[in-house]
Amino acid sequence: MSERESQHKLVKVFSGSLWQAQIIQGLLESNHIASILENDTLSAVTSPYATLGGEVWVLVYQRDRESALKLISTNKLSSVPYN
């Protein structure tokens, strides 16, 4: 994988409930960091029953990882740090 390709790889910066992930996503987007929500079954993010359990992940591009983690940490929204 080239350096350019690795910067476009998606990495996990947060894991938690759907509502927590949506707050994190809003924080990132308001700071011009693109993100997506995902979990082990994509339907859980769009399902009306998604809040019944299961983890939702916030993913960002590798190039934005450090900035995203800093924002999450600074705003005391991190429950699980990712390396």
Which residue in the block uniquely carries the two structure tokens 């938690």?
16
- pLDDT above 50 for 15: yes
- pLDDT above 50 for 79: yes
Strand partners, 57: 15, 38
Written out in words, the top-level CATH class of the domain with range 3-74 is alpha beta
A 10 A CB-CB count for 40 gives: 9
- pLDDT above 90 for 7: no
The amino acid that residue 73 corresponds to is S
What pLDDT is attached to residue 48? 56
Cα dist from 30 to 23, 35, 41, 50, whole Å = 11, 11, 27, 24
Q: What is the pLDDT of residues 18-76, one digit of tens each?
A: 899 999 999 999 999 999 999 866 554 455 555 556 789 999 999 999 999 999 998 87
Nearest CA to 20 among 51, 42, 48, 44?
51
The amino acid that residue 23 corresponds to is I
Q: What is the pTM of this model?
A: 0.73
Per domain, the residue ranges of the chain are: 3-74
